[in-house]
Structure 1
Amino acid sequence: MKLVYRLLVITLCSFATYADTLSIKQQQAWLEDINFFENQVRTKHIEPFHTLAENDFARLLKELKQDLPLLSEPQVEARLMAITGAIGDGHSNYFMMSGPHQHFPLRYKFFDNKLHVIDATKPYQHLIGAELKTINGLTVEGLFELITPLLPGIDNQFSAKTRFEFYLTLHKLLLGLGLIKESAAAQFEFELGGNTLNEQIIPVAMSEFAKLSSAFKNHSDKFNMLDIGMPGISLNLLKENKVAYFDFNAYPSFEQVIAKCKALLKQLKAAKSKYLIIDFRGNGGGSFYNGLAFSSCLLPLDQFDWKAGVFVLTDEHTFSAAMSNTVQFKQILNARIFGTPTGGDPNQFSESYRFVLPNSKRKLSVSKRYYPFLFEDTDAVYPDELIETSWLDYQQGNDTVLSAVLTEIEKIENNTCSN
């Protein structure tokens, strides 16, 4: 009922949007799209009403159809996002960015529950490091409460934060919720060094926004990463080749893993690497079967310390297949997990069935499988060693998680030598 209450609040807020309402022709097109959406959810999702009751789903769609003459396109999309979000799993999503959109030219990341600007386009670079306080008078806390029920890719409170960091920049979403006006700058308030900064900011094209760094700051660029022929996975040999560090940023195909496995084994044998680090931070998923193929490739190497020398790094961006492989590698590789909790739920509805609405061409997905990877009541894979990154470490480019693992490896080495 809490989700439905939030949806009702969203519905009321959306009528405050300052944008043109739909024409009769547009209303008919969206009506067809909504009916198509309903059919896809009912027939393609493995269990569509595991969280949102079927009668509430039907009622929300009926109300949306009735309201079409009063709504603008951003309002319709916000409502569809809300209904899809209420289905209640991170693989059932409405992708608002599959249509035309703009972004406010800032990137954010939470540190100690404060939302900092981590990058900005040239006119606003003086805001880097500032804490966002309000947009058009609404606090970050209020925005979070209002926006997160709509967002795609949310399994738990950790992925909710990462999605909010990104989608707070999406102009059309804020417009659909009635938080900003169509052709007017939004009023942003920041705090920096004890001073309040007020800025009137207008959105920019996606192409301009895309030049900004992501909220996940990948420190592997400090290393001489080696191309192993598996796109999305790169290797660095640390500590005089004793540590094989894999930056597993994205998923290669199964065929690519198999084709390059022998060459990788030869490389690792020559290096005589003893310790293994697999970094899933920032990895939003792919096919966990391909991740299992990668682990299968490594298993023949008896040179690794399979008892105490395997580590997996995670953060709130570790989602879907990357989360699944984290659980599996803990089980089959005896890995220890360092970092922060995963954004993915190990007992999850998963495996996206993707479809496109026939008229608007907006893209959506619903879950077609369910995987219980941990037979316990939990919402994330929690690390064996919780290592968080402070704003200061982030600014200075200090990888506190990797440093903690390398320190642990030194302890293992020292204990081995002393014995």
Structure 2
Amino acid sequence: MNSQINSYKKHIVYTFLLLISTLNVLFAQASKKIDWKKDLEVYKVSLEQKHINLYHSVTKEEFLEEWNSIYNNLNSLSDAEIILKLMRLTRRVQDGHTSVSLRNMSTHRYPFEVEYISNKWHIVKISKEHKSVLNSSLIAIDDVPIKEVSTKVSKVAQFVENKYSQVVRTGSYMNISEVLHALNITNKKQEATFTFIDASNKKTKITLNALEADASNFVHQTIGVPEITKPNNPKFPYLWFAPIKNTQAIYIHFESYPPFTAMQNFGETVVNYISQHQIKNVIIDMRNNGGGDLYVGTILAYALNLADSVDWENGVFVLTSNKTFSAGTSNTALFQQLLNAKVVGQPTGSNPTGYQDMDEFTLPNSKLIITYSKRKFNLSNTVTQGIQPDVQLNYNWNDYREGKDNILQWVIKQLK
């Protein structure tokens, strides 16, 4: 009996010690701080070594002064505050490929997306349970006016190269809960109240919770024209072409880049179609092209140049927007030169002459990803804020909310 009691006591003691040990480990992990000093040193040294010309727009003295201010005050800053300060510092480099990426961070997004159209932040995508506010405009977050919200967010939004991409990136960061809370816009980390106003000036307040992953139960506003029908099951949803009804034209939807050989095959298919149907006009839609391999894009230009039926004097159009970025901008500039294309739409979100070709490194402790530019491309004779269209057109919200693509409609009218 005594031996059983002693055995039981030993088991209790062992279990207690194991529990204490486990709790110590857990508390040690919870209280473990990121070695930001090491990360900041790696950030500075790596950017100076890897970027083709880190100080092309900000002086070394200015950059290091701000870097030192962060480094010397680390003990008084939270992790979120440090990340925000790094984001502001990185923005001073002033090229859209040098940025602090939050890809490795555990971030949450409120279930909506906004577009800045006709001087308002409109809801173009939202969770189905709140579909009643689709197409409304966002006017406040936790009672902070949207102008103040956008101003604060615009100063830390990343992948910004000019004033056009700044607006786009501001919108894409406006639903990240950690960013909003760190900027003292929201009161809670993952919950906020959003105020919307519809076309009849009716205001609606909705409290939303931020989500860790993208949900699939969304409704969103899409735009198009009746003359163009997307083919069923295209090989690439981001690269396809279709005839434009009642014209001698084709529409090429070019949103992203396939592998090199796939673009060769695509170009061959397009040229065969052009030749068989004696197509005279080509519209290449680059409005949502965020970048990729610009050399793959030149394969399309090479293929199109083989089509003799095209009106090479006045028959090629490229559509651009503030979302046209990186290789999308570079290819637009090349299409102007190689295809004699007329650019229609909004100025591009990146510059044709500037620092591009993005690579990255990871900070060892925080795991923040830092991107940087490896090359400089000169695709225009003068340095401009984006490619300025030959015909500048903006989205019209009255058309947009009804699903009408007024920019594409304008081009098609020129063909008839």
The TM-score range, normalised by the shorter chain, is: 0.7 to 0.9
**C-alpha distance in structure 2 between counterparts of 1:200 and 1:344, whole Å:** 35
Q: Number of matched residues?
A: 386
CA contact (8 A) 2:274 2:309 kept: no
Matches within 5 A, 1:54-65: 54-65=60-71
CA contact (8 A) 2:225 2:409 kept: no
Which residue of structure 2 aligns with residue 413 of structure 1?
Answer: none
1:206 is aligned to 2:213: yes
Which residue of structure 2 aligns with residue 403 of structure 1?
Answer: 409
* TM-score of the two chains, using structure 2 as the length reference: 0.86
Which residue of structure 1 aligns with residue 318 of structure 2?
Answer: 312
Which residue of structure 1 aligns with residue 338 of structure 2?
Answer: 332
Structure with greater Cα Rg: 2
1:276 to 282, 299, 310: 282
Which residue of structure 1 aligns with residue 34 of structure 2?
Answer: 27
CA contact (8 A) 1:229 1:256 kept: no
Q: Secondary structure at the match of 2:401?
A: helix
Which residue of structure 1 aligns with residue 139 of structure 2?
Answer: 133
Q: Secondary structure at the match of 1:152?
A: coil
CA contact (8 A) 1:249 1:282 kept: yes
1:167 is aligned to 2:173: yes
Which residue of structure 2 aligns with residue 17 of structure 1?
Answer: none
- Per mean C-alpha deviation after superposition, the further-off stretch among 62-71 and 150-159 is 62-71
Deviations 1:90-131 (A, max 9, x none): 110111233111011121111221111122113322222222
**C-alpha distance in structure 1 between counterparts of 2:383 and 2:58, whole Å:** 20
2:109 to 80, 99, 103: 103
Q: Secondary structure at the match of 2:272?
A: helix
Amino acid at match of 1:320: S
Deviations 1:169-212 (A, max 9, x none): 0111112223224446323222222233333332122222x654
Matches within 5 A, 1:16-415: 25-28=32-35, 30-183=36-189, 185-192=191-198, 193-208=200-215, 212=218, 217=222, 219=224, 223-225=229-231, 232-239=238-245, 242-410=248-416
1:377 Cα deviation after fit = 4.3
CA contact (8 A) 1:230 1:257 kept: no
- Per mean C-alpha deviation after superposition, the further-off stretch among 256-265 and 389-398 is 256-265
**C-alpha distance in structure 2 between counterparts of 1:337 and 1:226, whole Å:** 28
1:48 Cα deviation after fit = 0.7
What RMSD over aligned residues (CA atoms) do the two structures have, in Å?
2.4
| Distance 1:227-1:329 versus aligned 2 partners, 3 A rule | farther
CA contact (8 A) 1:315 1:341 kept: yes
**C-alpha distance in structure 2 between counterparts of 1:55 and 1:382, whole Å:** 33
**C-alpha distance in structure 2 between counterparts of 1:121 and 1:79, whole Å:** 32
Q: Secondary structure at the match of 2:204?
A: strand
**C-alpha distance in structure 2 between counterparts of 1:350 and 1:165, whole Å:** 22
Deviations 1:370-401 (A, max 9, x none): 22222224201121222222222111111111
- Per mean C-alpha deviation after superposition, the further-off stretch among 53-62 and 389-398 is 53-62
Q: Secondary structure at the match of 2:55?
A: coil
Deviations 1:24-59 (A, max 9, x none): 74232x322222111121111111112222122222
| Distance 1:318-1:212 versus aligned 2 partners, 3 A rule | farther
**C-alpha distance in structure 2 between counterparts of 1:91 and 1:220, whole Å:** 34
CA contact (8 A) 1:265 1:301 kept: yes
CA contact (8 A) 1:350 1:369 kept: yes
| Distance 1:200-1:264 versus aligned 2 partners, 3 A rule | closer
CA contact (8 A) 1:227 1:234 kept: no
Q: Secondary structure at the match of 2:356?
A: strand
Which ranges of structure 1 fall in alignment gaps of 5 or more residues?
A: 1-21, 411-419
**C-alpha distance in structure 2 between counterparts of 1:166 and 1:214, whole Å:** 15
* TM-score of the two chains, using structure 1 as the length reference: 0.85
Deviations 1:307-349 (A, max 9, x none): 1111101111111111111111112111111111111112221
Deviations 1:61-116 (A, max 9, x none): 22223333333322222122111112111110111233111011121111221111
| Distance 1:220-1:93 versus aligned 2 partners, 3 A rule | farther
**C-alpha distance in structure 1 between counterparts of 2:64 and 2:126, whole Å:** 42
CA contact (8 A) 1:237 1:244 kept: yes
| Distance 1:55-1:25 versus aligned 2 partners, 3 A rule | farther
**C-alpha distance in structure 1 between counterparts of 2:380 and 2:205, whole Å:** 47
CA contact (8 A) 1:27 1:68 kept: no
1:259 Cα deviation after fit = 4.2
Q: Secondary structure at the match of 2:262?
A: helix
Which ranges of structure 2 fall in alignment gaps of 5 or more residues?
A: 1-28
**C-alpha distance in structure 2 between counterparts of 1:48 and 1:214, whole Å:** 39
- Per mean C-alpha deviation after superposition, the further-off stretch among 153-162 and 67-76 is 67-76
**C-alpha distance in structure 2 between counterparts of 1:99 and 1:218, whole Å:** 33
**C-alpha distance in structure 2 between counterparts of 1:290 and 1:365, whole Å:** 22
